[in-house]
Amino acid sequence: MSELEIDAVVFDVLGTLVDEPTGIRAGIRELAPELDDSGIERLLSLWQRHVDREQRRILDGARPYATTEILDHEAARLVADAAGVDDPAAVAALALSGRRLPPWSDTVAGLARLAGRFPLIGLSNASRTALLEINAHAGLRWHQALSAEDARTYKPDPAVYELAVTVSGRPPERLLMVAAHAWDLRGAQALGLRTAYVARPVGDPPSPSDRFDLHADGLADLADQLDRSLLPQ
């Protein structure tokens, strides 16, 4: 690994710091308590496929930009229809489950530790409103939280990573992008950011051809590695 010279750390949020599937599962259980685990997983997959597909369509120019609030409501409507629920209030409540996401067990302490040494920037595909509620619900500590809504596109569009570069006032190579998704890190890497992969159960693991600066088992491991790599020589 080449020497790291980092001025700020940029974090993906969904999947990296909060457990998105668990939050949505909880919403589905509230919508349809009679469902067994397999039924819940089927509806969770329906939600995830819809959001992923529509974000790709937006990135491809096949659909005008729509916030995650819109996409989550569309997904909630699909899930409710599949569950046989026809209640607008229940659909609205389910759509909000995408904001009530629990943090991973090491997230809060890990962010606090890193915030003592670096400016921390959250960079999420979640809308501005959704990101505010996700941060508050999970107790995430930031110096700045940025939404892809400000670029009117989604990661891995370079315009989203440019938000962090602009806010930091630093060149891309002085920023470290942290994510549990290899596709996200590749997008940041293409713009010149340094990269750190953090393993999570719901992430997108690196391929053999990926060359990220750091690989960590969690935020404590990431902090330890940064302490070692940034020690004065």
pLDDT, residue 229, reads 79
Pair 201, 111 in one domain: yes
Pair 69, 106 in one domain: no
- In the chain, the percentage of residues whose pLDDT exceeds 70 is 97
Q: Identity (one letter) of the amino acid at 35?
A: L
Pair 126, 182 in one domain: yes
Residue 65 is part of a domain; what is its CATH number?
Answer: 1.10.150
Q: Is it the case that residue 231 has pLDDT exceeding 60?
A: no
Annotate 149-174 with b (16+ C-beta within 10 A) or e (fewer): bebebbbbbeebbebbbebbeeebeb
Q: Using 50, 70 and 90 to split pLDDT, how confident is the model at 4?
A: confident
Domain-located, residue 2: no
User: Which token pair is 91?
Assistant: 């659909």
Pair 68, 117 in one domain: no
Q: Is it the case that residue 233 has pLDDT exceeding 50?
A: no
Pair 134, 171 in one domain: yes
Supply the mean pLDDT for the chain: 96
User: Which token pair is 129?
Assistant: 């409103």
Pair 164, 58 in one domain: no
Residue 219 is part of a domain; what is its CATH number?
Answer: 3.40.50.1000
Is the torsion defined by CA of 144, 145, 150, 155 positive or negative? positive
pLDDT tens per residue across span 210-221: 999 999 999 999
Pair 113, 147 in one domain: yes
Average pLDDT over residues 62-79: 98
What's the domain count of the chain?
2
Q: Taking the CA atoms of the chain, what radius of gyration do you get in angstroms?
A: 18
Pair 82, 145 in one domain: no
pLDDT tens per residue across span 127-137: 999 999 999 99
Pair 60, 129 in one domain: no
Which residue range is the domain that position 13 belongs to? Answer: 8-18+102-229
Domain-located, residue 181: yes
Return phi, psi of residue 193, to 5°. Answer: -75, 150
Residue labelled with tokens 């409501």: 73
